[in-house]
Amino acid sequence: MGLAASRRMLARIVVVMALGLAVSCGSDDPGPTIAVGAGDSMESNLLAQIYAGALARTGARTSVTADLGNRADYLTALDAGTVTVVGEHGGELLTFLNAGAQARKPEVTTDIADPSAPVRLSVPEELSRSLPEGLAVSDPADGTDMRARVLLTEAAGKDVRSIGALAPRCGEIQAGVAPVSGVLHTAAPVRIAGCDFAGTRPYPDATGLRKALLDGEIQAGILTGPPALVPGATDGLTVLADSDYAVRAENVLAVYRKGLLDDRQIRKLNYVAGELTTDELAQLMRKVREGAGAAEVARTWLDDHAL
């Protein structure tokens, strides 16, 4: 190669290097990949896809680590730093971390009749105090209510409309319990404050529970999640109100490792919490059951809410 050709080749190399440097300096470094964890349930995976998609829109690289197992398993992965974020239910997580926790409501409560009475912590506040060192939670999704529901036949529900009204009779009642398929929940029994049934028996699903109630096999039913997730499961039945939170508040929230998300990313998780509702989550889960991909369903929901 001649001297002139060598000089032209060197000039091209310098230009390419300069362009590469300019592109590198002008781009935002997305930093390390944020791994969002999911347990074995459909809801856990769907929440992971929502959180991963939302965080990706801040410019971060994200991934979903699915099928991590039950609550103990994915919390272990979070504690070990294998994943950075997981979706959870506030009340069940509080029960898992602190069996003696007293909070039941989603907000701080005071006794109006006795101003000197101590203020009772909310579930999110007591949860924050119960978290292992190095973990934090996003805002709870106030529009989600993932609590178990107590069911009666319509005839029995004419006189009893709330769990509080049922409580004095719980000791005389046989109750059935059925899981809601796909929901993120613990295998521990549902705790209903002030209502200890004479006995409980398990049923495989909401359909079996409904039939047992209508046939008179049991006098009350406990569905371990909101009826919106199992359409038709409460037809002909009364869902008891629970304004006093005999069943501890269960709102969806994100648990994350401190120091690995910046303020913009934490705000994005809080924005998701501000938009998510029980009915929407039920609709998203139905779409996944019908064959849609969880990532696609999550992406559409994020687009619809400008997140």
- The single-letter DSSP state of residue 62 is E
| CA torsion angle 277 283 284 287 (round to 10) | 180
Question: How far is 16 from 18, CA to CA, in rounded Å?
Answer: 5
Each residue's pLDDT expressed in tens, for the chain with a length of 307 residues:
444 444 444 444 443 344 344 333 434 667 899 999 999 999 999 999 999 999 999 999 999 999 999 999 999 999 999 999 999 999 999 999 999 999 999 986 554 444 555 568 999 999 999 999 999 999 999 999 999 999 999 988 888 999 999 999 999 999 999 999 999 977 778 899 999 999 999 999 999 999 999 999 999 999 999 999 999 999 999 999 999 999 999 999 999 999 999 999 999 999 999 999 999 999 999 999 999 999 999 999 999 999 9
Cβ distance 178 to 204 under 8 Å? yes
Q: Which residues contact 195 (CB under 8 A, 6 or more apart)?
A: 150, 163, 166, 167, 170, 246
DSSP run (H or E) holding 172: none
Closest by CA position to 144, among listed 58, 264, 43: 43
Exposed, middle or buried, 246 (CB in 10 Å: 0-12/13-18/19+)?
Answer: buried
- Cα dihedral across residues 119, 125, 127, 128: positive or negative: negative
Q: Which segments within 154-239 are labelled E, that is strand?
A: 174-178, 199-202, 220-223, 237-239
First-to-last C-alpha distance (Å) of the chain:
57
Closest by CA position to 209, among listed 241, 184, 165, 174: 174
Question: How far is 68 from 75, CA to CA, in rounded Å?
Answer: 9
